[in-house]
């Protein structure tokens, strides 16, 4: 059996406010063709299908159009799990109807654990593979609150709860195989942060849980799992170098810091033994960052204009002379070209003129946590009070970023 692992589509994502519908449409068309070419029979999407819990009509139309096309292909089954960006209610709403098309949706952890175990059969009804379709696990799915708990206690209980979730599911799956007198490969999904995972600056990855220590170690997952298909991190990577423990990564660069990263999907074959192959995803939109003084910037823009490829451009002005019409000159330089300037930063000249440290940043360049940290420092909050205040702020921010119906 051929299985394709992908994740973190983030349909509806905007780069500095610029919609990316064309890129996502191109990716889904390419994915459909690749599934046909590689004769993929099972598609696994490991969370963050949408960038927002309230996706636009265009994003929804793109999603359902893709699923419609897949049902006409060689792909006999699709398994989609919810990520931390997704609305569980929105994903689960059509799950009963989609199940008749062999599209299995697990938007959130169900009350009955066994509902996360999906047995895939071939056309002759012979069991082929068993999937532990584990979605993004929220606090309430794996941990009960107790008054007076410390931050460390809460984090440890959360880690323990996630580990026990996978152990329990694995035991249930193996027992089901034993009862059915079958032995088939066991694949598990997840949407989480595994310790040692690599990220890039400004890649838009949200903190999954309150605090920064809730990163699972590889030994949290039972050895009986033959392949672990993870989502959440946007760089394709093996976990601790393990061939069968992987993040597929996002198909599109989620920020300019990922512009030169090769994106991938993962193909798993179960016979004669389970093997894993990487397939590069084409770059559907070029992202380019350029920096320097005005002359250097204009020269680089002139070079980029000679190409035929569409380019999203990020510019860092690093001259020491104040140029009042910087934006106008750059706009003229890219006029009637396939270059779209998404951001112009002249932080270097601003800091030089104001004779302030390089730590001075605009709100656009700061994360919410950095703003809060600066508030603590400006107001000279004593160190002994900061941990509790930071935890409270993180709790509020986490709730805001992960609001569900």
Asked whether residue 358 carries a pLDDT value surpassing 50, the answer given is no
Runs of H (alpha helix) within 255-382: 294-305, 326-334, 347-354, 368-378
Please list the residues that pair with 44 across neighbouring strands.
5, 79
Are 113 and 172 spatial neighbours (Cβ–Cβ below 8 Å)?
yes
- Pairing assessment for the beta strands 242-247 and 237-239 based on DSSP bridges: antiparallel
Q: Cis peptide leading into 355, omega within 30 of 0? A: no
- Cα→Cα distances 234→217, 222, 244, Å: 18, 24, 18
Least confident among 18-32, 81-95, 143-157, 199-213: 199-213
pLDDT tens digits, residue range 305-323? 988 889 999 999 988 777 8
CA distance linking residue 67 with residue 98, whole number of Å: 9
Q: What three-state secondary structure class fits 245?
A: strand
Residue 168 vs residues 153, 165, 203: alpha-carbon distances, Å = 22, 5, 33
pLDDT at 168 (0 to 100): 95
How crowded is the C-beta side of 62, counted as CA atoms within 13 Å? 23
Residue-wise pLDDT for 89-138, tens only, equals 999 999 999 999 999 999 999 999 999 999 999 889 999 999 999 999 98
Higher pLDDT, 368 or 77: 77
Residue 203 has φ and ψ, to the nearest 5°, of: -85, 0
Q: How confident is the model at residue 148 (pLDDT cuts 50, 70, 90)?
A: low
If one counts every other C-beta atom within 10 angstroms of the C-beta of residue 153, the result is: 11
Query: Any idea which of 41-55, 133-147, 303-317 has the lowest mean pLDDT?
Result: 133-147
- The values of phi and psi at residue 187, to 5°, are -115, 140
Strand order in the sheet with 275-280: 103-106, 77-81, 42-46, 2-6, 264-269, 275-280
Q: What percent of the chain has pLDDT over 70?
A: 86
Orientation angle between helical segments 368-378 and 383-401, nearest 10 degrees: 150
pLDDT of residue 359: 47
What's the CA gap between 45 and 325, in Å, rounded?
Answer: 46
Determine the distance from the C-alpha atom of residue 28 to the mean position of all C-alpha atoms in its chain, rounded to a whole number: 16
Spell out the domains of the chain, with CATH numbers in brackets.
2-280 (3.60.21.10), 285-362 (3.30.160.720), 366-405 (no CATH)
- The pTM for the full model equals 0.84
For residue 161, CA distances in Å to 105, 165, 173, 189, 220 come to: 23, 6, 18, 16, 10
Tell me, what's the pLDDT at 65? 97
pLDDT at residue 35 above 50? yes
Choose the weakest-confidence range: 58-67, 149-158, 299-308, 380-389.
380-389
How far, CA to CA in Å, does 157 sit from each of 112, 152, 223? Answer: 21, 9, 22
- Token pair of 346, please? 């002249």
**Residue among 138, 127, 70, 72 nearest 104 (CA):** 70
Give the tens place of pLDDT for each residue, 362-404: 555 566 777 887 787 777 677 766 766 777 777 676 566 555 4
Q: What is the pLDDT of residue 357?
A: 44
Instruction: Answer with the residue of higher pLDDT: 3 or 124.
Output: 3
The model's pLDDT over 195-247, given as tens digits with 9 standing for 90+, comes to: 888 887 665 665 555 444 457 889 899 999 999 999 999 999 999 899 999 99
Average pLDDT, the chain: 87
pLDDT tens string 247-297:
999 999 999 999 999 999 999 999 889 999 999 999 999 999 999 999 999
- Using DSSP's 3-state secondary structure scheme, residue 188 falls into strand
Count of residues in the chain: 405
Cβ-contact 305, 290 below 8 angstroms: no
State residue 395's pLDDT score. Answer: 67
């Amino acid at each position: 059996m051929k299985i394709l692992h992908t994740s973190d589509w983030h349909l509806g994502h905007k780069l500095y406010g610029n919609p990316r519908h064309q890129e996502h449409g191109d990716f889904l068309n390419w994915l459909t063709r690749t599934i046909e070419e590689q004769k993929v029979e099972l598609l696994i999407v490991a969370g963050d299908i949408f960038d927002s819990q309230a996706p636009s009509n265009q994003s929804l139309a793109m999603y359902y159009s893709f699923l419609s096309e897949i049902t006409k292909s060689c792909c006999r089954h699709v398994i989609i799990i919810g990520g931390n960006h997704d609305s569980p209610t929105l994903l689960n709403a059509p799950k009963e109807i989609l199940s008749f098309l062999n599209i299995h949706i697990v938007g959130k952890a169900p009350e009955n654990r066994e509902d996360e175990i999906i047995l895939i059969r071939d056309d002759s009804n012979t069991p082929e593979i068993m999937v532990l379709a584990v979605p993004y696990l929220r606090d309430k799915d794996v941990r009960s609150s107790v008054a007076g708990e410390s931050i460390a206690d809460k984090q440890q209980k959360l880690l323990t709860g996630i580990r026990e979730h996978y152990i329990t599911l694995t035991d249930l799956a193996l027992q089901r195989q034993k009862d059915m007198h079958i032995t088939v490969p066991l694949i598990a999904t997840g949407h989480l942060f595994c310790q040692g995972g690599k990220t890039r600056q400004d890649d838009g990855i949200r903190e999954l849980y309150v605090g920064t220590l809730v990163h699972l170690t590889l030994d949290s997952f039972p050895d009986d799992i033959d392949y672990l298909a993870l989502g959440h991190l946007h760089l394709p990577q093996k976990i601790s170098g393990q061939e069968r423990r992987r993040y597929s990564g996002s198909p599109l660069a989620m920020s300019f810091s990922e512009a030169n990263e090769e994106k991938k999907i993962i193909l798993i074959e179960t016979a004669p033994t389970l093997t894993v192959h990487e397939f590069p995803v084409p770059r559907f939109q070029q992202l380019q960052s350029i920096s320097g003084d005005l002359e250097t910037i204009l020269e680089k823009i002139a070079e980029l204009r000679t190409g035929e490829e569409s380019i999203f451009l990020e510019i860092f002005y690093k001259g020491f002379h104040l140029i009042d019409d910087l934006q106008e000159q750059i706009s003229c330089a890219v006029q009637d070209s396939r270059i779209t300037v998404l951001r112009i930063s002249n932080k270097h000249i601003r800091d030089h003129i104001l004779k302030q440290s390089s730590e001075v940043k605009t709100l656009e360049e700061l994360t919410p946590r950095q703003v809060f940290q600066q508030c603590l420092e400006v107001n000279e909050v004593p160190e002994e009070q900061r941990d509790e205040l930071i935890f409270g702020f993180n709790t509020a921010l986490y709730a805001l970023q992960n609001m569900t119906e």
